[in-house]
Amino acid sequence: MATTTSAKPSETLAFAQKLAPALQRGGVIALSGELGSGKTQFVKGLADGLGYMGEVTSPTFTLIHEYLGGLMPLYHFDFYRIENEDEVIDIGIEDYLASDGVCVIEWADKFPALLPEHTRWFQLSITGDNRRSITERK
């Protein structure tokens, strides 16, 4: 497991920006971590790194946002308010996972069995006032 420390939100953004060019169509990024740990900031970095020029916000209430217009589509899910696997299936997760874009999922640890084996897992943790750790799990 590799861990990176982020001393401010812009460093979390930069970490994900650097990760973005290596992403491939059909890729899946799973994010876990407590509220305020930087998951949405991470997604903003991915979107920026893929060349998306619009606003990136948390889909907590809409459950999914689609960011188009970059190198490839980025599908941003938030499982925070979802209570069971059937709800995840009802929002079309299987179609998105089989698409030509990248799926990034906040609160992915709620339903890990629904994600493919090739999913890359990142744990974000609050370690101080603005400090965060970003750990890629295998």
pLDDT in tens, 47-86: 999 999 999 998 887 899 999 999 999 999 999 999 999 9
pLDDT in tens, 77-135: 999 999 999 999 999 999 999 999 999 999 999 999 999 999 999 999 999 888 999 99
State both tokens at 76.
């941003």
Is the model's pLDDT at 138 over the cut of 80? no
Q: What is the residue extent of each domain of the chain?
A: 2-137
What percentage of the chain exceeds 90 in pLDDT? 84
Alpha helices by DSSP H, listed for 1-138, are 9-19, 39-49, 85-90, 93-97
pLDDT of residue 60: 80
Tell me the three-class secondary structure of 100-122, residue by residue.
Answer: CCEEEEECHHHCHHHCCCCCEEE
Could you confirm whether domain 2-137 is CATH 3.30.1330.10? no
Q: What is the DSSP letter of 20?
A: G
Decide if 124 contacts 42 (C-beta within 8 A): yes
Give 30's pLDDT tier (boundaries 50, 70, 90).
very high
Beta bridge partners of 28: 103
Closest CA to 102 of 134, 136, 71: 71
Residues, the chain: 138
Pairwise CA distance, residues 133 & 123, whole Å: 8
pTM score of the predicted model: 0.93
| Helix %, strand %, coil % of the chain (to 5) | 30, 25, 45
